[in-house]
Amino acid sequence: MTTTIIIIITTVAVILLTLVPTYVITNKSKTTEEDWAIANRSLPLYVVVGTQFASAMGGGVLVAHLGNAYARGIGVLLYGVLATVPFIFIMYIAKWLRSKNYTTIPEILRTFTNNNKGVTIFAALMTLIVPFGWVTSQITAFGNIYSGLTGLDYNLICIVFAIVSLFFIMPSGLKTVAWTDFIFSCFMIVLCTISLIYASNIGGGLSKTLTNLKSIDPNLLSFRGSLENNIGMTTAFLWIFSILPGGVTNQIYFQRVCAIDSEKNVNKSLAISAGISLLSFCWAVFMGMTIRSANPSIENNAATAWFMNQLPTFLLAIFAALIFATLMSTVSSGIQTAVMNITRDIIPVISPSMSEKKLLSISRLLSLVLMVIALLMCLVFTDTLGWLVSTYAFSAATLACPIFISYTFRDKNFITTQGVIAGMVGGIVGCTIGMILKTSISYAAVGIGISFVSMMAVCALTCKKKTSAL
């Protein structure tokens, strides 16, 4: 039996072993639109932690960040810290989100703009571009990785992956996605632990690994040296001004907070999710540096592939299935949350009397439509990283200040519809200016700065016209 066949059989087994129990759990009762959108606000704490972790980890940790650690050293942990801090930021408003029974980011902004239709639609569009960007990048990554492992055609692999992804969304939306993510996350933790053991053996143990790394490049083991000499402070600041704001406006994280079964577990779920996510980045750094110690002459983006080729065939197949699980979790979460922006924020503005049954049918149809669009983009544009970063920047610049400033002043009779609009418009204009002028700091930071100034100024000018508190 060839390695390709073993990988395919193992991946199919993982799919079935995940789908079958998920279908049993999520189909005990008839699916409603509330189930599809927000899991009927019934997800246990452990499921919310599992789905937050699975969605946040993605293929980037397994491949991109592992490769970064291989090339740049321990300073890559900065990225991991910045990627987990948004969970802590969201804790600031999490209990309020859950108590208000929100489901989307535009619903939050509607609270502060007297249900303004323009704000709702604009916010929905700026919210859904990030999860949709996640989807395209993960499909592309899966196609590249599996085509390299199996020798199968890239286009064929992307198409099959997209089709299989729909099976993890269609039955019950978020309820299916969340339980699937939980099962995947358990699988990820087990496989990552096994990988650590094998990587340590390949590197000859911790002592030998440290000795080898010191001889290759002492900066690899120094956080400051790694940042200054291998990563570069310019890149470090770019991370700070893109990852943090992008994370705090990521609706995937918000949505799971709102889907938890008990308000008292909200902050606990976020704290645990932050801790586990940070551990996953520590795993990537350890793996990358251990592989560098064992073989310092491979390409950065080939570090994961090299490690996999050192594994026995059965472990190689299981690791390939792990890659499938992490990428699939992000794709299913991204499609489901993007669809929810359309069905919960855009369609009600256009057709406010649409029945719940029809919305559920449209949700499933839109899942198919968005997946087809994402697939076509992946087949035409195989390098999706650049515009993925752009979607993060524009979404964060447009939404961060309106969300968090509005919450901060929610009881002060200060926030106005005009102010929120100014903040959103200022964010997108500032981001565009920063991108065109190629400013020395991240254009996301420029956008957020202009958004903040615009929103505060306009709210100050118009707040006296308000007649009642929000």
| Low-confidence winner among 24-33, 154-163, 335-344, 392-401 (lowest mean pLDDT) | 24-33
Average pLDDT over residues 81-98: 88
24: exposed, middle or buried (Cβ count in 10 Å: 0-12, 13-18, 19+): exposed
Residues contacting 24, CB < 8 A, separation 6+: none
pLDDT digits (tens, 9 = 90+) for 342-363: 998 999 888 888 888 888 889 8
| 423: pLDDT strictly greater than 90 | yes
User: Which pTM value belongs to this model?
Assistant: 0.83
**Residue 146: predicted pLDDT:** 82
Output the average pLDDT for the chain.
85
pLDDT range class, residue 257, cuts 50, 70, 90: confident
Percent above pLDDT 90 for the chain: 20
**Residue 402: predicted pLDDT:** 94
pLDDT digits (tens, 9 = 90+) for 453-462: 999 999 999 9
Average pLDDT over residues 149-161: 86
Q: Is 307 left (phi over 0), alpha (psi -120 to 50) or beta?
A: alpha
Contact 405, 455 (CB under 8 A): yes
Q: How far is residue 164's CA from residue 149's CA, in Å, rounded to a whole number?
A: 19
| 24: pLDDT strictly greater than 60 | yes
Say which CATH superfamily domain 3-29+40-384 falls into: Sodium/glucose cotransporter (1.20.1730.10)
* Domain ranges, ordered by start, for the chain: 3-29+40-384
Q: How far is residue 323's CA from residue 327's CA, in Å, rounded to a whole number?
A: 6
**Residue 26: predicted pLDDT:** 67
**Residue 468: predicted pLDDT:** 45
- Number of neighbours of residue 206 by Cβ within 10 angstroms: 12
**Residue 121: predicted pLDDT:** 93
pLDDT range class, residue 10, cuts 50, 70, 90: confident
**Residue 206: predicted pLDDT:** 85
**Residue 416: predicted pLDDT:** 93
Reading the block at residue 329, the tokens are: 């979790």
